[in-house]
Amino acid sequence: MDSSAVLFNQLKAAEPFFLLAGPNVIESEEHILRMANHLKTISTKVGLPLVFKSSFDKANRTSSKSFRGPGMSEGLKILEKVKLAYDIPIVTDVHETIQCEPVGQVADIIQIPAFLCRQTDLLVAAAKTGKIINIKKGQFCSPSVMSNSAEKLRLAGNPNVMVCERGTMFGYNDLIVDPRNFEWMREAKCPVVADITHSLQQPAGKKLDGGGVASGGLRELIPCIARTAVAVGVDGIFMEVHDDPLNAPVDGPTQWPLRHLEELLEELVAIAVSSRPVLNLHIQLFTFGHPSVDSVVDQFLDNHTTDSCGSSSNESPHVSTHGPSPPSKGVVDGKEGRPSWWALPVEDMDLDMDELRQYKASLETLKSNVASRLKEMEERASLTRDFVGFLDAH
């Protein structure tokens, strides 16, 4: 098995998640080596596999006057020194097809920028390096687009793919994170990564004193987005970290302070670990083929709700179910609205029968509560009919 496949399998198996982290851009060799040392120490302490990230060229800066980095030749030399000095894998981005081969000789993961996530020639060139490819979801894309991008890599002969959520455009100069995307992007059938820093950018939202604009950001909300992502159960976290964000030449407003990294990662690990049993229950239940709580209630109401004339009514009273969400929508294996694992035979599944019994008991309780509510509504309807009859008679 080649080294890329080995690393890919290690990252997929990481518990509770792996970490892609580093400063946005290479500022100097000394700075990058220092940051790599700190990041390896912290990630080792909290027990997370680290892939060190930094860019040699920021080709999509808002202003042509902005700092871009040392360039590919010098930047790759520095990244290779990091790799050798600290024995950590490297992830960096490419912007042109001609960059893929030389970058693939140094980087363990090649990153496709969000703006370029649909560029077929770039995806194919990156795939042919044999390296792991991390595709950032475009701010303008739906999560389903990532399935197509991942498929382009596989058709080019590279199965080592991961996709990354980095926010969605919300009007001008703003991004939001839709947590549903973390689930929907699994349709790409590969690890899902959450970029918890770029997703809080405010693109071109910061006016400069000398004229022009730059990207702003909401650094203070990074923990909020991070907590959401690990609670949902992403496979990896991508974050940019800096020892002096206020003076960082690129994306300072969305880089996380190095001095607060350890405490944030410890919290995220705790959340991810505590969420895992719930996530497993969710998967097992739907793999087994049970309908969601919502579906059970809908069916119950359809069978038991009657209008004042005694005929069946299609309008069910509002009942709060608080159950797990139904499987993500889409057409898989000819079955609309069901993911591919829905139809797996029972003997191929690892089922926890105690959890299933608990779930069944909770459904019975819920059905009982709904039945009581319906009985109460019917009693009120009966009183209303009696009162209307009394008024008509007098």
Which backbone phi and psi does 283 adopt, to 5 degrees? -70, -45
pLDDT, position 207: 63
**What are the tens digits of pLDDT across the range 225-239?**
999 999 999 999 999
Band (pLDDT 50/70/90 cuts) for residue 124 is: very high
* Amino acid 190: pLDDT: 95
Residue bearing the bigger pLDDT, 208 or 219: 219
Report strand pairing: 90-93 vs 109-112: parallel
Q: What is the pTM of this model?
A: 0.69
Pick the CATH number of 3-275 from 3.10.129.10, 3.20.20.60, 3.20.20.70, 3.40.50.2000: 3.20.20.70
Q: What is the pLDDT of residue 38?
A: 97
**Among this protein's residues, is 24 annotated catalytic?**
yes
> Predicted confidence band at 370 (pLDDT cuts at 50, 70, 90)?
confident
Gap between the Cα atoms of 158 and 147, Å rounded: 14
The CA-based angle 335-283-182, given to 5 degrees, is: 85
Predicted confidence at residue 193, as pLDDT, reads 98
Per-residue pLDDT tens for 326-338?
A: 334 344 334 444 4
The token pair that represents 42 in the structure block: 């912290």
Catalytic residue among 24, 134, 158, 181: 24
Determine the distance from the C-alpha atom of residue 45 to the mean position of all C-alpha atoms in its chain, rounded to a whole number: 24
For residues 332 and 34, give the distance between their C-alpha atoms in angstroms, rounded to a whole number. Answer: 48
90, containing H or E segment: strand 90-93
Residue from 57, 108, 235, 251 carrying the catalytic annotation: 251
Is the Cβ–Cβ distance between 214 and 206 less than 8 Å? yes
pLDDT value for 385: 78
Mean pLDDT of 161-166: 96
Mean pLDDT over 41-67 rounds to 83
What whole-number percentage of the chain has pLDDT above 70?
73
pLDDT at 40: 97
Q: What is the pLDDT of residues 66-99, one digit of tens each?
A: 657 678 999 999 999 999 999 999 999 999 999 9
Residue predicted with more confidence, 299 or 260: 260
Q: Evaluate if residue 346 carries a pLDDT over 50.
A: no
Check residue 344 and give its pLDDT. 42
Annotated catalytic, 251?
Answer: yes
Q: For the chain, which residues make up each domain, given as ranges?
A: 3-275, 289-393
Mean pLDDT of the chain: 80
User: Is 80 exceeded by the pLDDT of residue 341?
Assistant: no
At 381 the three-state DSSP class reads helix
131-141 pLDDT tens trace: 999 999 999 99
Distance (Å, rounded) from C-alpha 238 to C-alpha 255? 11
**What tokens appear for 295 in the block?**
């579906």
CB atoms within 10 A of CB 327: 19
Write the pLDDT tens digit of every residue in 240-259: 999 988 888 887 788 899 99
For 288-297, what is each residue's pLDDT tens digit? 444 444 454 4
Token pair listed for 61:
């800066």
Instruction: Identify the pLDDT of residue 279.
Output: 54
Q: Which of 53, 58, 131, 137 is catalytic?
A: 58
* CA pair distance 276, 340, nearest whole angstrom: 21
Each residue of 3-23: pLDDT tens digit? 999 999 999 999 999 999 999
The Cα–Cα gap between 27 and 78 comes to 10
Q: Is the pLDDT of residue 347 over 60?
A: no
Give the tokens for residue 145. Answer: 């687009």
Alpha carbon distance 46, 17 (integer Å):
11
Is pLDDT at 208 greater than 70 in this prediction?
Answer: no
Pair of tokens at residue 343: 């139809």
Q: What is the mean pLDDT of residues 180-195?
A: 94
> Residues 176, 181, 148, CA angle at the centre, nearest 5°?
115
| pLDDT band per the 50, 70, 90 thresholds, residue 280 | low
pLDDT at 121: 96
Residue 204 or 162, more confident: 162
Determine the pLDDT at residue 297: 45
* Count of residues making up the chain: 394
